Amino acid sequence: MRTTWDFAGTRALVAGGGGIGATVARALAEAYADVVVLDVDKDRLEDTVRDGVTGVVADLTSPAACRTAVAEAVRLLGGLDVFVHAVGVNDRRPVLETPDEVWERLLAVNLSSAFWLGRAAGAVMVPNGYGRVVYLSSVSGLLAHRDHAPYAATKGGVNQLMRVMAREWAAAGVTVNAVAPGYTETDLTRAYLAKPGMRASMESLVPAGRLGRPEDLTGPVLFLASAESAFVTGQVLYADGGRTLV
């Protein structure tokens, strides 16, 4: 992959070793950043690790585990300049058919980890006077898709969480933003898109006429992770092929 970005000397932590997270981690490494990737799945990490990318196995569903994971990343990297949160799971079913354990699991994985990891990253960045935090949100944080209640609630929560972090940390030189993909082909969506007629149905809702790919997110994420985005904070950047326009 050819890149126009230069992240030489940048120490980056990416939470989420599959799909978009893996693609972003590789793009950062190809732009000469030193990268640590966190994921609960050891096999998935092994697929992501390459030159410039180090994997750390971590279950990110408790505050203590998140603090420990960030501390280990900082130790390995020698500091922290960029944090990307690309952790997310979904469970598609109507509200009236959603059990408590599904709600609690999505809340822990998608939103609580965003708070715990972001807080730990901010605790390193704010005293240092520099940092870039980027959350992977979703168009579901804005649109009311049926059968998406817990997922949509967590992504809406991520959007507001990052806005408050951005407000609190701006004076310290730490920016906090989100990139909101539209329908993107990842492990999270593969089974759903394989249902008869589903791909064509989803594509018909996107003005660009196609679904997104993880590679479509690297430019927006790397911009928000770069020094060039110093005056951009508290924003949700929709990378959705126009999905939120219709």
Catalytic residues: 151
**How far, CA to CA in Å, does 244 sit from each of 111, 207, 215, 222, 239?**
22, 9, 20, 22, 9
**How far, CA to CA in Å, does 228 sit from each of 41, 151, 241?**
33, 31, 24
The closest alpha carbon to 232, from 124, 127, 138, 133, belongs to 133
Residue 1 makes CB contacts below 8 A (sequence gap 6+) with: 26, 27, 30, 215
Task: Give residue 195's region: left, alpha or beta (phi > 0; psi -120 to 50).
Answer: beta
